[in-house]
Chain A
């Protein structure tokens, strides 16, 4: 190449330099950044990095008490699964149970003791130390206790079972208060009372779905919410395809629930007339001589009024259907009738359930496999004796108003959300001078607290559960911490123990763990010799490993047969509703959705789980029969005001093919004002507008006894749902077949119990 002058040379050098630079920068820029390897200081024994460890525990998302196995990696909980060896759920677990992880890892958890100095509801919390927080509470308690006015302390906890409940009781006694209230919105008060009245049994019997061949469900959404849904699901499957005969399922309810969808027959009876229907069937059974028991005359007399004709007329179910129902119920052995939810939440709820008990009795389903079986008595206080119903809470509110309560201790209970506004409960609480909350979240009730002493979530703390509705025999399970506490929180039990110590009423234990172990030591001592291990310690480790323990002796005792008075007392009046039928043409049915009583609304997985029937996510809606909607000129997404005598809530219309034209249904759970980023200001809460109609027999609010009217607002919103068009246009996507080629599936696990 000929001469290159100085200029060109410089250019060349420059170009080369720039090029090289560019090259280096290029490579550096695409290189992976350095990471760090952080070793343990002290290697843990119970896991090695990269390998999963499983812990058995108990689910506390609802009162069913399913056993869970939690998968952990590097000391973090990764997944919750059903414990296959737990008799209640046998490996299965519902959506909410799995979302329990998001209770633990919820970004809105209270991370340490808080003080709401700026005034209640201000949500302006300041961090304080545990000692500070505890002294603030203890000082007040101490004064009251010393003055012998411990009764001015009220404890309102979410339904807790097992030894933790006993610990709370001991605490209450220590303070000298009898105001220790457990509160779950969905506690089946009516069912307890009804069983008490008919069977003389305080506790819940075991409804043996697995072995029944004909289930008559009066409004009980046994697959989604009623008592122990997962266990019922197992039973349902077992009955459908576990044996050689396919169980027949009938659902009687004005609005089709998931159980109704799964059933073979769905019968939309008039709301509140389920009991009358049941007695109608009973009448037919007795009249047609299916019942060979004693007191036939007494039965005939008490049932005489409930002729099929009248019942048909009152329930809006055709006489032929009723007759056919009665026949198949009486003839199919074993058969089973259950009642709850919709049927129980009316002004005549208890009567209805008694009627259903009677139906079971007359059909000979009591104490039979596939019928109603009674558990061995767990002994001690049952959940029912602890649980506060609407009236009890109303009294609490009353005494709060009249200034009889100085301190309120809240534990994960959220009555402000679930009590009707008409009850004035919130206003009453505000009268209480000092409120302390042990909740992990700032919900509507905790927002009123002056001091928040956050407790562990159930995955971080000790506890145990004896599933009440059970599995036909008594079992118990221990709930153990599966992860180290994420935040500066304490176990509920430990807080209580600490307070007790501070008010000079120390209890015999230093920690919840001790208390639980102590309790189980007793059980161990009492347990039959054949299940004894060489020492309690080995029993304890075996127990924690298995996660569940139980005896396999069915009680199946013949319950005291109803005496004359009981029989005579049977009878169901027409339901009473608040609001004039002229002004308020529709009956409002608030039903429990996946969000439960709203406690699951702050779990994003549940918010994003399409509703089982409507596939709606995020938000609430008003279900309305297509015909009604047409008459009112409403279409899906039209925003309406649902007005009851007590107030109004606003939600979009969802045209729902399977609901009575005279009924409006709304899901419970949304409409939180103060429950974290995922739940707050989303949808509406139908419970707000309920009239405080009370079923005198159960003392609980009749949540289905409110009439409403629909007022169109002219606004329109898009309901967020995942379903496009919910009709298969003859494309045979879901194929069906006649009952004849029924086949037994082998995939339902037989109930197993861990010998200890």
Chain B
């Protein structure tokens, strides 16, 4: 094989999603839009679990809210034949993520579990990842945030509080995943059981519209849900190979 071929070969190898031969776990999430009622419980759950700051009205006015998980609203049609479609939007943990290529300091990279990481203490705040992310789910700390005492007593000790100048985003509740792995080790297990770990949003969803699990395990609930004929990915045409899969909303025939 010629030199050129070897180059291209090597290049392809490096172009493997996530730059791993295979993932150890491959965490994925499905969200059934036909079951989601848009109640926003997941949004609050995320805020509570991940020490998201209370930014205040002013920040919202400026468009500087920090919501790792947000609900997007899309109206369809006009009165009286009008519909509201709600879709929860969070980091899609793309296996070929635009944000990962652009970070100059590798503060965001793909880890062995197919997760798109964000290392706060490595981030220097070029904000280029937020520009490159087509889902716009990366949020920047434009200033330090305060928790008026005693609200600070609620802060989750397993999650770092981010300082000004740092990018942040949904981590699939990595602290819970690590905890689950920790428990597995305590029980002398190699692997985390299916359903043993759930991000805050999935755990709290009143309609159980969200499923989270390991895509590598064909028997896992999420794998089954991924085979649903209604499964689709948002902005799939961009080939980001996202790990969050939505199930189409069903248009009633009646």
Contacts and interface: CB of A to CB of B under 8 A. Distances in A.
Contact, chains A and B (beta carbon distance below 8 A): yes
Interface of A: 73-74, 76-82, 89, 91-95, 97-99, 101-102, 105-107, 223-224, 229-230, 233-234, 236-237, 240-241, 246, 248, 256, 258-259, 261-262, 264-266, 268, 324, 328, 486, 594, 604-606, 608-610, 612-615, 617-619, 625-627, 657-659, 661, 677, 718, 720, 722-723, 726-728, 733-739, 741-743, 745-749
B54 A605 contact: yes
Given A608-B60, A609-B40, A612-B71, A89 B206 contact: yes
Given A92-B208, A609-B43, A747-B208, A738 B251 contact: yes
Interface of B: 32-41, 43-45, 47-49, 54-55, 57, 60-61, 65, 67, 70-76, 78-80, 82-87, 148-151, 153-157, 200, 203-209, 211, 221, 224-225, 228-230, 232, 234-235, 246, 248-254
A317 B72 CA distance: 31
A661 to B, nearest CB: 8
A81 B199 CA distance: 12
Contacts of B200: 79, 81
A6 B104 CA distance: 53
B252 A612 contact: no
Contacts of B72: 723, 733
Contact of A626 (B44, B48, B78, B207): B78
17 contacts: A93-B204, A102-B151, A223-B37, A223-B39, A229-B206, A236-B35, A237-B208, A261-B38, A261-B86, A265-B252, A604-B151, A658-B79, A727-B74, A727-B75, A734-B33, A737-B249, A738-B251
Contact of A739 (B44, B65, B225, B252): B252
A328 B204 CA distance: 34
A389 to B, nearest CB: 28
DSSP majority for the A interface?
A: loop
B55 A737 contact: no
B211 A738 contact: no
Given A657-B75, A727-B76, A734-B246, 20 more contacts: A73-B157, A76-B154, A89-B206, A91-B203, A95-B41, A95-B43, A98-B45, A105-B153, A224-B39, A234-B206, A261-B86, A608-B65, A610-B43, A723-B73, A727-B74, A733-B234, A733-B235, A739-B253, A743-B229, A745-B35
B41 A92 contact: yes
A735 B246 contact: yes
B207 A234 contact: yes
Nearest to A739: B253
A736 B82 contact: no
A74 B155 CA distance: 12
Nearest to A75: B153
B253 A738 contact: yes
A743 B251 contact: no
Contacts of A268: 79-80
Contacts of B87: 733-734
Nearest to A740: B253
Contacts of B148: 107, 677
B35 A241 contact: yes
A626 to B, nearest CB: 7
Contacts of A223: 37, 39
B192 to A, nearest CB: 17
A158 B18 CA distance: 55
Contacts of A73: 157
Contacts of B252: 248, 264-265, 739
Contacts of B47: 605, 608
Contacts of A746: 221, 224
Contact of B38 (A74, A76, A612, A718): A612
B75 A733 contact: no
Interface centre among B33, B45, B204, B232 (most CB of A within 10 A): B204
Contacts of B207: 92, 233-234, 236-237
A94 B206 CA distance: 7
Contacts of B86: 261, 612, 734
A82 B206 CA distance: 9
Contacts of A241: 32, 34-35
B254 to A, nearest CB: 6
Contacts of B254: 248, 264-265, 324, 328
Given A737-B251, A741-B229, A233 B83 contact: no
Contacts of A79: 48-49, 156, 200
